[in-house]
Amino acid sequence: MIHAEGPLLSVDVDSQETTEAEVDDVLASYVGGRGVGTKLAHDRIPFDADPFGPDNSLVFAVGPLQTSMMSYTGRISCTGLSPLTDGLLSSNAGGFISRPFYDTGYAAVEVTGESDELVGLVVTDEGVSFEPVPELESATVSETNEYIESEHGLDESHTAVVGPAGENGVRFAAIITSGSRAFGRGGLGAALGAKNVKYLAFDGDSRPDVEGLDDELVREIHTEASESGSPMKDAGTVSVSDYANAVGALPTRYFEELSYDELDEIGSAAVIEHKYKKGTCSSCAFACKLPTRDEESGIETEGPEYETMMSFGSNAAVDDFVAIMKSNELCDEYGLDTISCGDAVAAYLAAEDEFGNAELVHELIEKIAHREGVGDT
Ligand code: SF4
């Protein structure tokens, strides 16, 4: 089987020591970054480890196609014990970080232990630097990315960042990469935050060669991605919402209903109206990412994706697309999973008979990220 090449780098943020191990047998036996990360995390994390404790590990791993120019390959997995479920969880993110990650020469990077102080980790093919960053306590994702760029000249395509939500231990905190892409599900941002790690940045010039790729097949798939007429290219994943609404599968008013009369205000048409350029992940010609902008308010974000539109839109009965853009942007800045956060907010709106109150939605996101008042329940 074609597989990624390179050792596992283990980074202990407690002792600030690193070790390397050959994991060729794992790379050869498990498919892609998710398979490799799951096997390594399963074998290396003690069965009864606390997801918030030093024994939990987060394993970042990629598959072999990082060396190709093929579409759909700009992906990376992060695997560890979930603070939300206590189970082993693998979360996959797009964006641009998978290539700089593999430029380090490592097939997998494990972060373990717990630091006494807030640190950033810069992982390169020349080693790991542990940087105390007390000044970044409670910094948003964009503030942290600005810091990394000014200190290291590495832009957000190189970074994986914990926002205030992860530092505060919110169980559905995300790790944000490339500014707006997320290792979103299951709270791995809280697991990294519990280690007192604010960010990882990857860089290098040692991307391993991978033998055996079929160049003709790579070209075919890339061309097909480029020429596809999929509606996702126009409206992103929100393009599935019309179908979901028509067949009664669009969660609405905190799952009390399954279709939303106001979908036209927040669905595909709204994305198309507000998008201002195309977005993508590394080398992907399909390019389903759609940065959006509201000229009047100045709000810019990416998408939102279907699940974000659902959780902060139909499920909260918010029919204001710009308000959903703002919810998405707040989650990206604070480092929150939009699905779990949106549905938690929708549950609160249902309990308080406040469906449709977009201002309250934004207040609740802030409270959740900082674990204040009802945001800490
Ligand atoms: S641009 Fe879309 S299709 Fe391409 S890798 Fe990213 S998420 Fe996947």
Sketch out the chain's domains with CATH numbers.
Answer: 8-202 (3.60.9.10), 228-372 (1.10.569.10)
CB-based contacts of 302, cutoff 8 Å, min separation 6: 180, 181, 279, 289, 290, 291, 292, 328, 332
Atom of ligand 1 nearest to the CA of 284: 4
Question: In the 8-state DSSP scheme, what is residue 6?
Answer: S
Decide: 102 and 66 in contact? Cβ < 8 Å.
yes
Specify the ligand 1 atom closest to the Cα of 288. 2
357 lines ligand 1 (CB under 6 A): no
| Residue 279 Cα: closest atom of ligand 1 | 1
- Is 289 close to ligand 1, i.e. is its CB under 6 Å away? yes
Residue 67 tokens, joined? 């060396």
- pLDDT for position 212: 83
Distance from the CA of 279 to the center of ligand 1, in angstroms? 9
pLDDT for the residue numbered 310: 98
Which pLDDT value is given to residue 68? 87
First-to-last alpha carbon distance for the chain, in angstroms, is: 47
Q: Is the CB of 286 under 6 A from ligand 1?
A: yes
Cβ of 94 below 6 Å from ligand 1: yes
52 C-beta closer than 6 A to ligand 1: no
| Token pair in block for residue 19 | 């070790």
- pLDDT of 347 reads 98
Nearest CA to ligand 1 atom 2: 288
319 alpha carbon, distance to own chain's centre: 26
In order along its 377 residues, the chain shows pLDDT tens digits of 788 999 999 999 999 999 999 999 999 999 999 999 999 999 999 999 999 999 999 999 999 999 888 999 999 999 999 999 999 999 999 999 999 999 999 999 999 999 999 999 999 999 999 999 999 999 999 999 999 999 999 999 999 999 999 999 999 999 999 999 999 999 999 999 999 999 999 999 999 887 788 889 999 999 999 999 999 999 999 999 999 999 999 999 999 999 999 999 999 999 999 999 999 999 999 999 999 999 999 999 999 999 999 999 999 999 999 999 999 999 999 999 999 999 999 999 999 999 999 999 999 999 999 999 999 97
Give phi and psi for 322, each to the nearest 5: -65, -35
| 286 CA to centre of ligand 1 in angstroms | 6
Count CB atoms within 10 A of the CB of residue 255: 12
Q: How far is CA 250 from the centre of its chain?
A: 23
Asked if residue 280 has its Cβ within 6 Å of ligand 1, the reply is yes
Residue 177, pLDDT score: 98
